[in-house]
Structure 1
Amino acid sequence: MKPPFLYLPPTDPVTVLYRDDDLLFVDKPAGLLSVPGRLPEHKDSLLNRLLSDDPEVRLVHRLDMDTSGVMVFARTAAAQRVLNRQFETRKAAKTYIAEIGGHPQEDSGTVDAPLMKDWPNRPLQKIDPAGKPSRTDWRVLRRLAHTTLVELTPLTGRSHQLRLHMAFMGHAIVGDRFYAAPDLAESSPRLHLHASQLTCDLPGSGAAYTATAPCTFAREITNP
């Protein structure tokens, strides 16, 4: 059973990481919806905030509300088509940082477990052989006293993929109110999952560009 949803988005201004005539990269804060929800109280979102400053901004992809980090938005219809194609073909490369409970036995590996919607418990997902193929590469960055900092590279782009794959490993993400045990879920007010890097080809020049957003929870736990 999923916990009740109470939307209390952060009020901090959105940080723009890079901007040109075709696109902008921004650092989405944890707790802010990528796009507006259906209810009036869920209208505050990253997309709406960006549109208030630039009415030409166009959606390309999403991050979970609970996840922070790099997102890219198009600024023209042509750029949106180019970027959409990069995401559809998996040319756009994403890297995440997460803090997970416990210590994996290995230092790296791949989770290969198909996912599908858990319809009675939406928006949750579940591991199911009948689900869509889903793969995540992971590697240990630092082992802490009771948790581990890991780098995650999604090879597919399913909803809740990283959260559920880490839980499937037996090492759910700190602060994960959906898939972690209560003690781990309640150990932080936010989900410790951050999109640290996103690489795309710039629509104007075709050159690869990597946007990077600092991971605040990683800095806090490694530099107390």
Structure 2
Amino acid sequence: MGRQAAINAVRPLPVRDGVAPSYLWLGEDRDGGMLAFLCGHFPAVGEAAWRGRMARGEVVDGAGTALDEASQVKRGMRIWYYREVDTETPIPFEEQVLFRDAHLVVVDKPHFLPMTPSGRFLRETLLVRLKEKFGLPHLTPIHRLDRETAGVVMFSHCEASRGAYQSLFQQRSVEKTYEALAAPMAGRSFPFTHRSRMVDGTPFFRMQEVEGEPNSETLVDVIGGRGDAVLYRLEPYTGRKHQLRVHMAGLGAPILNDAFYPVALPCKGDDFTKPLKLLARSIAFRDPLSGQQRRFDSKRVLD
């Protein structure tokens, strides 16, 4: 049984409006009761919010027993609860389903829409939207795109076949093609392969290239000119975080509207006027169940 399947099997709270419950393992005994512990552990969530969740039976232990403010905090417990976001800005762009069968959902993701709940995004995420729209409680992304990146992404909604599709990505058996708008690269002959060593950077959400054995690889080619910019075709052989954005910036042609590379710009908040000019154009693979060759293409255009 895979990790996600194991979590689904013991989940004592149901998926609600497309949102799965969150959980927290307790590492030690604590005095003072459950309410005091939760308020201390999640300082951004007020006491009134936790009292309300407890009153509705939405804070439970692993057996599904409702917890109250006086419940003991014991090492090894797993607490389940629904995460809530008070103010969530609607993302004014829609996803498009490209394919759906008994195993997969393939989606054309818009810019700005996060893949999964995190930080200030909960319901305005691709995963929650799809769960709510299709009633698929076991839906799980097989791979991921940055919030800023648009294009083709695959989900599994059948636990029995999920491992077979995940293995395609682990074994690098999926052909992924991206397109990006960026400045011209003077003096380059195309296509060429860029290899580098990527490690965690500063701030924590960025990556950086350093000297050492390469652990990332991207094929770079030119599709054609687009005014003062160039439309590039990028084929990543590896799948490092922010790999294409880091590689293009390192080559002196950062992707247009990139707020992270080559330097991190001030947060734009909910400004949707300048999407990152990066598109996951297509994915192709031999289906591990049917043996059929599959290819899915985004219908979006970078302009």
Q: Which residue of 2 aligns with 1:45?
A: 125
Q: Which residue of 2 aligns with 1:107?
A: 190
Residue 14 of structure 1 deviates from its aligned partner by 1.8
Range with bigger deviation, 90-99 or 13-22: 13-22
Q: Which residue of 1 aligns with 2:93?
A: 12
What TM-score does the superposition give when structure 2 sets the normalisation length? 0.63
Q: Tell me, which stretches of 5 or more residues in structure 2 are unaligned?
A: 1-87
Tell me the alpha carbon deviations over residues 130-151 of structure 1, each in whole angstroms, 9 at most, x when there is no partner: 5761010010001233211000
Larger Rg: 2
Tell me the alpha carbon deviations over residues 12-39 of structure 1, each in whole angstroms, 9 at most, x when there is no partner: 33200011111011001110111110x3
Q: Which whole-Å CA distance do the structure 2 matches of 1:104 and 1:173 have between them?
A: 15
- Whether 1:177 and 2:275 are equivalent positions in the alignment is no
The CA RMSD over aligned residues, in Å, is 2.2
Q: Which whole-Å CA distance do the structure 2 matches of 1:94 and 1:155 have between them?
A: 8
Which SS does the other structure have where 1:72 is aligned?
strand
- Whether 1:26 and 2:111 are equivalent positions in the alignment is no
- Contact 2:94–2:110 (8 Å) recurs in 1: no
- Whether 1:148 and 2:233 are equivalent positions in the alignment is no
Q: Which amino acid aligns with 2:99?
A: Y
Q: Which residue of 2 aligns with 1:116?
A: 199
Q: Which whole-Å CA distance do the structure 1 matches of 2:157 and 2:264 have between them?
A: 42
- Contact 2:282–2:296 (8 Å) recurs in 1: yes
Q: Structure 2 vs 1, CA of residues 204 and 9 (structure 1 numbering), >3 Å: closer, same or farther?
A: farther
- Contact 1:58–1:77 (8 Å) recurs in 2: no
Q: Structure 2 vs 1, CA of residues 131 and 175 (structure 1 numbering), >3 Å: closer, same or farther?
A: farther
Which SS does the other structure have where 2:146 is aligned?
coil
- Whether 1:35 and 2:120 are equivalent positions in the alignment is no
Matches within 5 A, 1:48-63: 48-52=128-132, 53=134, 54-63=136-145
More relative contact order, 1 or 2 (CA 8 Å, 6+ apart): 1
Aligned residue pairs, count? 206
Q: Structure 2 vs 1, CA of residues 160 and 8 (structure 1 numbering), >3 Å: closer, same or farther?
A: farther
Q: Which amino acid aligns with 2:255?
A: I
Q: Tell me, which stretches of 5 or more residues in structure 1 are unaligned?
A: 1-6
Q: Which whole-Å CA distance do the structure 2 matches of 1:22 and 1:45 have between them?
A: 21
Which SS does the other structure have where 2:140 is aligned?
coil
Residue 110 of structure 1 deviates from its aligned partner by 1.0
